[in-house]
């Protein structure tokens, strides 16, 4: 049997393995290849990504935009248009949730409900005045005799009736004027959540505006009542007074005629709009 060679050569080449070099200072062997081999079972990390986020692999990143140019994928700005905030200024509703000017106007149903409530309150004062002016003796005689009363005015004591109307007039005028000037709301308006303000800037109304507004309303009321007392046929002309309130049905700002005369408008008393009458209290 032959003995194996002392220094076997690799099967793939004829070159001899490099001989180790000896360091003169320490006497230790120094390999010609200074890089240590990778540990078994480890993988090499890929190089860091040098592209642009969102770009396809292997695609070159777009060149940077020059000053004054719009980057790719962005809409060009509109010159002269102010920047629009995302949700509007603090304290204001979002435009998509009732922020328009017409959304703050009081509804026609709310104004009708407020008027009915205020009328019921004032009728508490008017009812005793009317009952006090009725001539109960005349009514009793008519019931006993069976003869109807030809003139309805004979059932009333006219001086007492006029006195009662005067009291109701003063109480009603003071009710609407004082409450509107101090709080912008009568009890009826407060119940349905609406408020009287200036039509120009929605601030608190002045005493002059309230006095003129209520004087116009009562002038129409007295004219209508006077026409009805004179003759029933003349009462048809008194129907013109209904246009004062009915004007809100087709007006863009839902103003009655007395609102247009006084320069006022009725709006919703919403919590996100400051109360212009708060500083007067």
Which of residues 5 and 91 earns the better pLDDT score? 5
- Residue 78, classed as helix, strand or coil, is coil
Is residue 86 assigned to a domain?
no
**Does some domain include residue 75?**
no
pLDDT in tens, 65-116: 666 566 666 666 555 555 554 444 444 444 433 445 557 899 999 999 999 9
Q: Which of 13-27, 190-204, 217-231, 233-247 is the least confident region?
A: 13-27
Mean pLDDT, residues 13-29 taken together: 50
Whether 198 is in a domain gets the answer yes
Q: Count structural domains, the chain.
A: 1
Instruction: Work out the widest C-alpha separation in the chain, in whole angstroms.
Output: 165
Residue 71 lies in a domain: no
Q: Is the pLDDT of residue 25 over 80?
A: no
Per-residue confidence band for 223, with pLDDT thresholds at 50, 70 and 90: confident
Region 236-242: mean pLDDT is: 67
What residue numbers bound the domain in which 117 lies? 105-274
Taking all residues of the chain, what is their mean pLDDT, rounded to a whole number? 73
Q: How far is CA 239 from CA 155, 179, 205, 220, 221, in A?
A: 25, 28, 29, 10, 10
Q: How far apart are CA 18 and CA 15, in angstroms?
A: 9
Residue 227 falls within a domain, yes or no?
yes
Distance, CA of 131 to CA of 188 (rounded, Å)? 25
pLDDT value, residue 226: 72
Residue 141 lies in a domain: yes
Residue 212 has pLDDT above 80, yes or no: yes
* pLDDT at residue 189, rounded to an integer: 95
Q: Give the pLDDT score at 194.
A: 95
**Domain assignment of residue 18, yes or no:** no
Burial class (CB in 10 A: 0-12, 13-18, 19+), 244: buried
Q: Which residues pair with 266 in a beta bridge?
A: 196
Confidence (pLDDT) at 88: 45
pLDDT digits (tens, 9 = 90+) for 121-176: 998 888 887 788 877 777 777 777 777 766 666 777 778 888 888 888 899 999 99
Determine contact, residues 194/188, Cβ cutoff 8 Å: no
Cα–Cα distance, 46 to 61 (Å, whole number): 19
Is 44 contained in some domain? no
pLDDT of residue 49: 56
pTM higher than the cut 0.75: no
Q: Between 67 and 204, name the one with better pLDDT.
A: 204
Q: Characterize the bridge pairing of strands 21-22 and 29-30.
A: antiparallel
């Amino acid at each position: 049997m032959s003995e194996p060679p002392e220094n076997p050569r690799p099967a793939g080449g004829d070159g001899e393995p490099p001989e180790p070099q000896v360091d003169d200072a320490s006497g230790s062997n120094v390999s010609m290849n200074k890089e240590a081999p990778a540990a078994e079972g480890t993988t090499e990390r890929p190089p860091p990504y040098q592209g642009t986020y969102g770009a396809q692999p292997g695609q070159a990143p777009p060149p940077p935009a020059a000053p004054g140019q719009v980057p790719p994928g962005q809409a060009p700005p509109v010159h002269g248009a102010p920047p629009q905030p995302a949700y509007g200024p603090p304290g204001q509703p979002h435009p998509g949730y009732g922020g328009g000017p017409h959304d703050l106007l009081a509804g026609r149903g709310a104004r009708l409900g407020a008027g009915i409530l205020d009328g019921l309150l004032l009728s508490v004062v008017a009812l005793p005045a009317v009952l006090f002016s009725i001539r109960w003796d005349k009514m009793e005689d008519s019931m006993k005799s069976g003869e109807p009363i030809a003139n309805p005015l004979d059932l009333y004591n006219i001086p007492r009736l006029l006195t009662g109307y005067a009291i109701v007039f003063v109480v009603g005028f003071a009710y609407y004027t004082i409450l509107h000037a101090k709080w912008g709301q009568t009890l009826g308006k407060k119940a349905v959540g609406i408020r009287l303000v200036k039509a120009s800037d929605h601030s608190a109304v002045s005493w002059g505006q309230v006095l003129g507004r209520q004087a116009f309303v009562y002038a129409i009321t007295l004219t209508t009542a006077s026409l009805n007392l004179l003759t029933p046929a003349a009462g048809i002309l008194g129907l013109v007074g209904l246009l004062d309130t009915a004007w809100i049905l087709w007006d863009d700002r839902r103003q009655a005629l007395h609102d247009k005369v006084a320069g006022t408008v009725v709006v919703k008393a919403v919590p996100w709009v400051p109360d212009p009458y708060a500083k007067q209290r």
